[in-house]
Amino acid sequence: MKKPIAVLVSGSGSNLQAVIDRIEQGVLDAEICLVFSNKEGVYGLERAKRHGLPTRSMVMADFSDRTAYDRAMLEVIRGSGAELVVLAGFMHFLSPVFVHAFENRILNIHPSLLPGFPGVRAQRQQAEYGVSLAGCTVHFVDEEMDNGPIIIQAAVPVLPGDDEASLGERILSMEHRILPQAIQWVVQGRVFLDGRGVVVNQDETSDFAGNLEHRLVNPRLERGF
C-alpha cells in the first residue's frame, strides 16, 4: 500500500518533480495527497496541477502570527490524510505546534552537508567559504533550523570558479536523487532513530537486528534513484 504524503513547496518545485517522477516510474511507494505552498502562484503548484495532484496555498499575511498560520496549515494537511510531510524547498520555519503534531514524520532537503552551512543561501555560503566538498542533506525536522537527525547526505566537488549558481546546479542534481530515496526508506519503515543517529534497514525483508547500515556521504543509492 502506498503511503500518503504531503509535499510543501515555496518555489519552482524541482524536488517535487523528482518525487512525482519516481512515483510515476513505480520506484517510490508513496502517493502525494497534497501539494501545499506558503506562496500563491509558484511554479511548484503548477507542476502539481499538471499531474492531477490536489493543491493548496496560504500566505502568512492572512494570519496573526506564525503559530496561527501553522495551526491552520496543520488542519489542512491532516485533512488531506497525509502520514508523512516532505519539505521540498519550503521556505517557512515550522513552529513547535506543527513539528510536534508530525514528530519524526517531517523530512527536509537542505543544500549543504549539515551541520555545516545551515539556513538560507547555503549554496552561496559554501562557494564563498572555499570548501572543497559541498552537498545536500535529507534530515528529520525538529524545533531547531536544519538540525534534526540526518537520514542521507550526498557530496559534490567544488570546482575552481564555482559561484552560487554553478555549485547550486550541481548540488540540485543530487537533491533530486537523495530526497526520493530517503522518502522510500521512510515509507517502507526502514528508518530507525538511535538518539541523533539514524540507521536504515538494508532491505525491507532483512532482519533489522542483524543487518543495519548507516547512510552517510554518497551512499549506494538503490535502483531507480
- Which one of 110, 139, 176, 214 is the catalytic residue? 110
Size (the chain), residues: 225
Q: To which H or E segment does residue 210 belong?
A: none
CA distances from 125 to 12, 156, 162, 211 (A): 21, 15, 12, 38
Mean pLDDT of the chain: 92
C-alpha to C-alpha distance for 22 and 5, rounded to whole angstroms: 14
Model pLDDT, residue 215: 39
Model pLDDT, residue 223: 77
C-alpha to C-alpha distance for 109 and 87, rounded to whole angstroms: 7
Nearest of 170, 189, 175 to residue 30 by alpha carbon: 189
* Chain center to CA of 152: 11
Model pLDDT, residue 224: 81
Q: Number of C-alpha atoms within 13 angstroms, CB side, residue 43?
A: 7
User: How would you write the pLDDT of the chain (225 residues) with one tens digit per residue?
Assistant: 899 999 999 999 999 999 999 999 999 999 999 999 999 999 999 999 999 999 999 999 999 999 999 999 999 999 999 999 999 999 999 999 999 999 999 999 999 999 999 999 999 999 999 999 999 999 999 999 999 999 999 999 999 999 999 999 999 999 999 999 999 999 999 999 998 999 998 765 433 333 333 334 455 678 788
Q: To which H or E segment does residue 192 belong?
A: strand 191-194
CATH entry, 110-137+144-225, from 3.40.430.10, 3.40.50.2300, 3.40.50.170, 3.40.50.300: 3.40.50.170
DSSP 88: S
Q: Judge if 1-103 and 110-137+144-225 fold alike in CATH terms.
A: yes
Domain ranges across the chain: 1-103, 110-137+144-225
pTM, entire model: 0.90
Whether 139 sits among the annotated catalytic residues: the reply is no
What fold does the segment set 1-103 form as a domain? Rossmann fold (3.40.50)
Model pLDDT, residue 222: 81
SS3 assignment, position 183: helix
Model pLDDT, residue 92: 97
Model pLDDT, residue 204: 53
Model pLDDT, residue 1: 84
Q: In what order do the strands lie in the sheet with 197-201?
A: 191-194, 197-201, 212-213
Model pLDDT, residue 202: 76
